[in-house]
């Protein structure tokens, strides 16, 4: 997986990436690149922000960041979301995402 495949870029305080989320999945998991975004699956249903909270928790855990460092910037009501991760550069984030890709988390 490359940073270009998942639209992962450095920002002054961390990095930003696009994710495509499948809510109501069988497991919380990182599937890999798909259509220019990182494909994720979360068990939580897409109601009352549950899936969004699950996405933040999944990414924070995989990236080794506190939940407060991971923010959904856009796409709150859409499967395609832009995520900001503070305190980690794109290269380190990519390495951590690659290490757990396609393995169920939790």
pLDDT at position 100 is: 81
* Confidence check: pLDDT of 106 > 80: no
Helices (H), 1-106: 50-63, 90-100
Q: Model pTM? A: 0.91
CATH number corresponding to 9-105: 3.30.1200.10
Please report, for the chain, the start and end positions of each structural domain, with discontinuous segments joined by +: 9-105
Question: pLDDT for 19-78, tens place per residue?
Answer: 999 999 999 999 889 999 999 999 999 999 999 999 999 999 999 999 999 999 999 999
* Confidence check: pLDDT of 1 > 80: no
In order, the DSSP letters of 63-87 are HT--GGGEEEEE-TTSSEEEEEEET
């Amino acid at each position: 997986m490359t940073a270009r495949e998942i639209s992962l870029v450095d920002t002054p305080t961390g990095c930003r990436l696009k994710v495509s989320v499948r809510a109501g999945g069988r497991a919380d998991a990182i599937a890999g690149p798909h259509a220019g975004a990182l494909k994720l699956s979360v068990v939580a249903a897409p109601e009352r922000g549950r899936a969004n909270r699950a996405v933040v928790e999944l990414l924070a855990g995989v990236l080794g960041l506190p939940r407060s460092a991971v923010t959904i910037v856009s796409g709150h009501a859409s499967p395609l979301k832009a995520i900001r991760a503070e305190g980690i550069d794109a290269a380190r984030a990519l390495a951590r995402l690659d290490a757990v890709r396609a393995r169920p988390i939790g």
